[in-house]
Amino acid sequence: MENPWWHSAVVYQIYPRSFADSDGDGMGDLRGIIDHLDHIAGLGVDVVWLSPVYPSPQDDNGYDVSDYQDIEPVFGSLADFDELLAGVHERGMKLVMDLVVNHSSDEHRWFVESRAGRDSAKRDWYWWRPAREGMQPGTPGAEPNNWGSVFGGSAWEYDPASGEYYLHIFSRKQPDLNWENPEVREAVYAMMNWWLDRGVDGFRMDVIDHISKDTSLPDGVPRPGSAYGDGGPYWLNGPRNHEFLREMHQRVFAGRDAMLTVAEMPGVTVQEAVLYTDPARREVDMVFQFDHVWVDRGADPWLLYPLRLTTLKGIFGRWQAGLAEVGWNSLYWNNHDQPRIVSRFGDDGPRYRERSAKMLGAVLHLHRGTPYVYQGEELGMTNAPFATIADFRDIEAIGQYTQAVTHEGRAPEDVLTVLRARGRDNARTPMQWDATPNAGFTTGTPWLPVNPNYPEVNAVAAAKDPDSVYHFYRALIELRHTEPAVVHGDFTMLLPNDERLYAFTRALGGTTLLVIGNFTGGTVRAEIDDAAAWAEAELLLTNAAAPRDLVLEPWQVVVYRRVSRP
Ligand code: GLC
């Protein structure tokens, strides 16, 4: 397969509950998305990825699905969905659904049946285990093993009726499906085919490197300062993960054209990613890896580590080199699980918010891979001012806070400092459409307050201003569509030891692009080889005045092009 369409594509992610509310209940919905499709199409993106819109108790905002083949009534109906799909297709874009099948909701009928008793026909569709040997079921420490859940507390929930426990890597309302059972896999494939037959164009697969577990479920190494062990080594990239994805490919995607499969894989290594995305192996098209968004994390989860640009460049450089020949990567700064990038690695103050947002966008988009734009990123939306834990809605933030403060004795203010910087709710405040109350997101009370900076940061203002972040993203996306070196060019990292500048080239045939981003609030000269020639080259894109002699202004990015004639 030579150069599939998604190599030159850009994806826009919608988090439906925070995008646009058409009926005033404070929660975004499908009609709200339909009303705003022109905003998305106007950016020039190729694909829309919808975070989950299936029926769900919303314990984890829809990542706990209670029916895979319907639409959550708060979001609308299947008829609304079909209208949305048609609207996306009419505008020449594709629609990718979220596929959340490592776990279901505990309210899914599969789990309800599984829980009904030890001899239920669906008992083995989930991970049920007895108490640890010699322990009284339901007593502290009697869980089948010591794994902690990602959202705090044990990864096991006791079911008094049957005297057994079920596994949940995420919340207790997200029981893990047992992929060892072929009936589970066939049920998932049938559901996926149902959506593809309806016209959707692919799937973003939630934590899909968690589906194969080490079936002996051994204790994990205790986490420092925690009552729980780390189960990651036994549930990440397990022994049958490749096999399951190959089987899924055969049962669902083989024989269909133009699909997109994106595998969210926390903890995936470059070597494994090459295997997952090697087209010859027919598993998935691209991975969503986490190394670069974990760059500021250390051994202690409740400490903030400042960004070291050299480390970030090391990570991106390793991924670019590792997937240069075989395989494909996604490129993202933001999604519904990450804080806003301009607040994280840029400067979200009034002076440099827009300029640093553009610099970050350009540096990311000009790597090799498929870029993702998360709603509001194209406006330079910022983190929100959360004061106390009561301001957070996210189950992860609340669960981790409870574990750290109540059970591990951490100082509340230390935990809050980290949640304010990294908490997922930063990404989930409502989309800022205009300067009317609640940013035009809803006429009711939004489920999470709107960021107070909306009178200034909003889509209407951005559309009017030719220098806005929105129009800069449009230019970036157009550059990917028109300049083959952006899609296919060889990547070379420059200045790997520089803590201030992020610089690289992309080369294809006689064309070379040079990208330099200034990650500081100071003026910096780029000391690169051939600087004099580059300073004379064609300046394709920048976010400040054209520099002289490669002296970059604070947060400036420059993209130059040179074409050598044979
Ligand atoms: C993924 C989702 C995240 C969710 C988790 C469990 O990481 O992106 O939002 O909480 O999986 O489904």
Q: Do residues 64 and 56 touch, judged by C-beta distance below 8 A?
A: yes
Residue nearest to atom 4 of ligand 1 (CA): 63
% of the chain residues with pLDDT over 90: 96
Active site residue 206: yes
Active site residue 425: no
Sorted by sequence, the CB contacts under 8 Å of residue 41 that are 6+ apart come out as 91, 92, 93
Is the minimum distance from the CB of 206 to ligand 1 under 6 angstroms? Answer: yes
Most informative mutation of 17, 63, 150, 293 for ligand 1 (most atoms within 8 A of CB): 63
Q: How far is CA 87 from CA 15, 30, 41, 91, 337, in A?
A: 18, 11, 10, 6, 27
Task: Please identify which of the residues 264, 348, 354, 425 carries the catalytic annotation.
Answer: 264
Tens-place pLDDT, residues 130-160? 999 999 999 999 999 999 999 999 999 999 9
- Ligand 1 atom closest to residue 424's alpha carbon, by position in its atom list: 9
What's the CA-to-centroid distance between 206 and ligand 1, angstroms? 6
Burial of 445 from C-beta contacts in 10 A (0-12 / 13-18 / 19+)? exposed
Q: Do residues 499 and 511 touch, judged by C-beta distance below 8 A?
A: no
Sorted by sequence, the CB contacts under 8 Å of residue 524 that are 6+ apart come out as 500, 501, 518, 551, 552
Tens-place pLDDT, residues 460-496? 999 999 999 999 999 999 999 999 999 999 999 999 9
Three-class SS of 72-93: CCCCCCHHHHHHHHHHHHHCCC
Q: How far is CA 200 from CA 18, 48, 261, 288, 402, in A?
A: 22, 10, 12, 20, 39
Q: What is the pLDDT of residue 566?
A: 66
Tens-place pLDDT, residues 350-392? 999 999 999 999 999 999 999 999 999 999 999 999 999 999 9
pTM over 0.95? The answer is yes
| 51 pLDDT higher than 60 | yes
Euclidean distance between CA atoms 184 and 102, whole angstroms: 11
Tens-place pLDDT, residues 184-228? 999 999 999 999 999 999 999 999 999 999 999 999 999 888 889
Euclidean distance between CA atoms 524 and 544, whole angstroms: 14
Tens-place pLDDT, residues 253-263? 999 987 999 99
Q: What is the pLDDT of residue 2?
A: 66
Is the minimum distance from the CB of 209 to ligand 1 under 6 angstroms? Answer: no
Query: Which residue carries 């629609």 as its tokens?
Result: 95
| 3 pLDDT higher than 90 | no
